[in-house]
Structure 1
């Protein structure tokens, strides 16, 4: 039986970035199929009770940074804790993820590359030239992909999937849903692994 994971995430999320390596290893271990579902950051914060990091209490901001540094060291994943282009508009990048999947491609490498661009390479994912470069680096025809990503259909997919996520109780990134069960946070991937083993 094919195991399918719906992976809801922000393409700006440091926690999604930190989860890439572990998540991919679990997916490969179980031969699972992943539906990559980037969703709107602000719509999710506004509708699901969240607060943007910049608007949080100073104590929460401080401890967020402490936790990022702890996890980066623990996972041995290099990370720029104050990226030059964060936050940035992820809309076009997200719609490129959907365009890849609409064409029958594997959006995983591109999604991972976007997160890496933000958190390890100081690249601006709101810049079309940067996105085109990343697309080419992942083996995609950037002009074709960009044109499809800018279509009304992909904009609607992005909006509808964000709403779908909220209806499925997704309020943070990353959230992995398997067999009707939500696993919120990269630190829940071990639980996802166990669920996939059952």
Structure 2
């Protein structure tokens, strides 16, 4: 059975635009997924990336245009300037880590729900109430928002170290167990072709 390590940030518009395509691809090819939320700002600092606010205005303007185009192409709503930006991504990441450890719900739905709350619903994903709602909607116990915070923090930090060691430099980033790497929601078709043996 193929395996995909999925490195992402709950701040990432590209992770939002990926929707649930990773889960659909994995289901078609019998692959399992390990969700690895990480601190994207720390990843940028470690791998030569530049935080959005420090990018040249030309790059920021292009990013906003391209996000809107990609969302339209995918028939997905998006607010290119969310009301709560940037939120603290750690609480939502800890909740996803706790949910993965416990199991029993839909991790893809949970991750997408958090991203949708930020990029569509104008919600603060650092807010405990929002995180609890996302957990419940994905079939998890809402109390996971308040449990395992220490282990969540440790895993969150470990995910960053693992990502840097594995060659990750952005999000979303997908690594198949044979070492093939795919960066960005616009490479999901390539990931599927690879899993099919065509690429």
TM-score normalized by structure 2? Answer: 0.93
* 1:38-187 correspondence to structure 2 within 5 Å: 38-105=37-104, 106-143=106-143, 145-150=144-149, 152-178=150-176, 179-187=178-186
**Unpaired segments ≥5 residues, structure 2:** none
**Unpaired segments ≥5 residues, structure 1:** none
Deviation of 1:101 (Å): 1.2
Deviation of 1:141 (Å): 1.6
Confirm or deny: 8 A CA contact 2:20 2:109 kept in the other structure: no
- For 1:27-65, what per-residue CA distance to the aligned partner results, in whole angstroms no more than 9, with x for missing partners? 222122111111102111111111111110000001001
Measure the CA separation in 2 of the matches of 1:103 and 1:24: 19
From the superposition, tell whether residues 138 and 104 of structure 1 become closer, same or farther in structure 2 (CA, over 3 Å): closer
TM-score normalized by structure 1? Answer: 0.94
Q: CA RMSD in A?
A: 1.2
Partner residue, 2:11: 12
Secondary structure class of the residue paired with 1:193: helix
| Equivalent pairs, count | 195
Q: Which moved more, 1:174-183 or 1:97-106?
A: 97-106
Secondary structure class of the residue paired with 1:50: coil
Measure the CA separation in 1 of the matches of 2:77 and 2:21: 14
Confirm or deny: 8 A CA contact 2:47 2:164 kept in the other structure: yes
